């Protein structure tokens, strides 16, 4: 297309639509439809340009899918289809997709589409390779980019990690960018929104340019993307703030002053949730999208009368609605009447289906079958674990019969030290509290009883009976058992675990915090030997800086101990 046929220059006014939506990895057609919907909405609002999140056409992170030539080709076709559609004179688009360059390299790319063409392609220069990110495994780093011209405005398009260091934005500023538009696939963890804001402020200060930060939302396996897109003026003041944990669409109006600098008309500034609400919403969104995107009709879980299964049941109802949650009490001779009462009360408060399936016969059947092998041995945790595994068999049978996903309900404290039964209570497809320590589970349970944020599907009020929160925790696998028979108080355990897992502190360093050295060494040992269990655990929502998944990669076979 010749320059004469390009749309007229915008002049001193630019209307940008920010599309914060929920893509699905691999659903190229569905993700393309989301872009089309956003463009239609932008056209109605008179927008000139639509900014979409990082790699939005394929979904983020695509992981090794981008190593399949057919996948990359289909993404390219989607980009070309959208480019042709911009020949209608409507809004331009900034979209993201994996892109095979002329040099044969595979890049994480952002494309500017306008006037029926792919007007420019920009490659991500700074590839993250830490924590949950390993983009260097599949992508090549692009060169430091220059700005792209959009209808007479020179726009810098750094991609996500490109703004976490100064080089890319500095290069864009020095080569004439007037405004920075940043597509992002930035996952949630606690206090992440404030961390992003500080990074963006630093780039604005360094470049003197306004910046629009567009992030995706939605769950993708263990990651939750929380949105929270926003814009900063060149003076670092907040121009607009979009919500976290929900799809949204914002129209932003920009004007170029006499000095050539762009500023945004103040837009809505949504108040972001506090840490408790953010953590809760992350767990709910991660569970919801895992169930819906994998097309399960609902979930089933064992409701024991304990706090872990209770909070998971509430999260499931908040995510999916009561009609898609099935709770089953699976009592044995050690299950107390108190637990049965508490479980029934929780199910009643949530309005979910609740059934009782005793496991006496399955456990006795296993015991009888194993009796010849176990002759002349003493009963121990083997027999206790038969109870948990019998429960797992029942739940998996219900899942097989009706298609519902089994929810796993173990917290991070228990998963850290292996206080869980492989092929028993670890059975399942997804665990929303996998990255919450037991003390956090207690805290959030009380918080949810006092709060019901908007948009959730569960009821308000006391959805977790107070007795579940206040009673002594127990697995009820033997008479008069409590968790503290095997573990220190959770306040002590969780502090030691945070030091070992999140901070990688030495035993000596943790001892200086006032903990007993022998206890620290015991917890460290339990942490290491439970690695084989964690490798077989289902995925769950990332909440902390270091979840048990891609964040923390320890060997199973490991004789090191910090002595």
How many angstroms separate the CA atoms of 169 and 209, rounded? Answer: 9
Q: How far apart are CA 69 and CA 358, in angstroms?
A: 52
Active-site residue flag, 160: yes
Structure token pair of residue 42: 């932008």
Sign of CA dihedral 21, 22, 25, 30: negative
438 as an active site residue: the answer is no
- CB within 8 A of 404, min separation 6: which ones? 296, 297, 298, 299, 300, 326, 398
The catalytic residue among 124, 324, 438, 542 is: 124
Alpha-carbon distance of 62 to 502, in angstroms, equals 26
Q: What is the secondary structure of 279-312 as a DSSP string?
A: HHHHHHHHHHHHHHHTT-S-EEEE--SSHHHHHH
Strand partners, 155: 148, 179
Contact 66, 106 (CB under 8 A): yes
d(CA 217, CA 454): 17
Strand stretches in 124-158, DSSP E: 148-150, 153-156
The per-residue DSSP string of 192-221 comes to HHHHHHHHHHHHHHHH---EEEEE-EEEET
Under DSSP, is residue 148 helix (H, G, I), strand (E, B) or coil?
strand
| C-alpha to C-alpha distance for 283 and 242, rounded to whole angstroms | 20
Is 269 part of the annotated catalytic residue set? no
Report the half-sphere exposure of 291 (CA within 13 A, side-chain side).
27
Q: Which two tokens stand for residue 315?
A: 């999260």
List 75, 160, 169, 214, catalytic entry: 160
Report the DSSP beta bridge partners of residue 55: none
Give all strands of the β-sheet with 325-329 in edge-to-edge order. Answer: 353-356, 325-329, 299-302, 405-406
Helix (H) or strand (E) holding 441: helix 438-450
Active site residues: 54, 124, 160
């Amino acid at each position: 297309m010749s320059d004469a046929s390009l749309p007229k220059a915008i002049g001193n006014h630019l209307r940008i639509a920010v599309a914060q939506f929920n893509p699905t990895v691999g659903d190229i057609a569905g993700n393309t439809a989301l872009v089309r919907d956003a463009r239609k909405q932008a056209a109605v609002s008179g927008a000139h340009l639509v900014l979409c999140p990082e790699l939005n056409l394929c979904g983020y992170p695509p992981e090794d899918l981008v190593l399949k030539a057919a996948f990359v080709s289909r993404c390219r076709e989607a980009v070309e289809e959208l480019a042709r559609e911009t020949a209608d004179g409507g809004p331009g688009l900034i979209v993201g997709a994996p892109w095979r360059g002329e040099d044969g390299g595979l890049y994480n790319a952002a494309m500017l589409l306008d006037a029926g063409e792919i007007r420019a392609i920009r490659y991500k220069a700074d590839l993250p390779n830490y924590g949950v990110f390993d983009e260097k495994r599949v992508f090549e780093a692009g060169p430091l980019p220059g700005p792209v011209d959009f209808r007479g405005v020179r726009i810098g398009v750094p991609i996500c990690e490109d703004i976490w260091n100064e080089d890319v934005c500095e290069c864009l500023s020095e080569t004439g960018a007037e405004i920075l538009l940043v597509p992002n696939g930035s996952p949630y963890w606690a206090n992440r929104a404030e961390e992003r804001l500080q990074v963006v402020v630093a780039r604005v200060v360094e470049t003197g340019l306004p910046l629009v930060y567009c992030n995706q939302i939605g769950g993708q396996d263990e990651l939750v993307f929380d949105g929270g897109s926003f814009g900063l003026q060149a003076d670092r003041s907040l121009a607009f703030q979009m919500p976290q944990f929900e799809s949204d669409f914002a129209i932003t109006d920009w004007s170029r002053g006499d000095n050539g600098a762009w500023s945004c008309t103040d837009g809505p500034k949504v108040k972001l949730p506090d840490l408790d609400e953010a953590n809760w919403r992350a767990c709910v969104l991660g569970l919801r999208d895992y169930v819906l995107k994998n097309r399960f009709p609902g979930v089933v879980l064992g409701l024991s009368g304990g706090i872990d299964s209770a909070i998971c049941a509430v999260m499931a109802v908040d995510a999916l609605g009561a009609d898609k949650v099935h709770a089953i009490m699976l009592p044995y001779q050690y299950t107390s009447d108190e637990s049965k009462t508490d479980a029934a009360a929780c199910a009643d408060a949530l309005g979910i289906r609740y059934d009782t399936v005793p496991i006496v016969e399955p456990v006795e059947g296993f015991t009888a079958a194993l009796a010849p092998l176990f002759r002349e041995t003493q009963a121990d945790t083997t027999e206790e674990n038969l109870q948990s595994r019998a429960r797992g068999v029942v739940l998996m049978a219900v899942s097989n019969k009706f298609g519902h996903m089994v929810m796993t309900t173990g917290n991070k404290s228990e998963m850290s030290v292996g206080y869980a039964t492989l092929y028993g209570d670890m059975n399942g497809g997804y665990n929303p509290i996998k990255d919450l320590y037991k003390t956090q589970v207690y805290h959030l349970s009380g918080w949810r009883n006092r709060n019901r944020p908007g948009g959730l599907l569960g009821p308000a009020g006391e959805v977790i009976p107070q007795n579940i929160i206040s009673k002594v925790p127990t697995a009820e696998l033997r008479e008069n058992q409590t968790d503290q028979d095997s573990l220190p108080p959770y306040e002590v355990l969780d502090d030691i675990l945070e030091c070992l897992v999140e901070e990688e502190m030495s035993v000596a360093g943790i001892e200086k915090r006032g903990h007993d050295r022998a206890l620290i060494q015991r917890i460290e040992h339990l942490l290491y030997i439970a690695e084989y269990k964690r490798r077989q655990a289902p995925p769950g929502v990332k909440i902390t800086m270091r979840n048990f998944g891609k964040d923390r990669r320890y060997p199973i076979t490991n004789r090191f101990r910090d002595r």
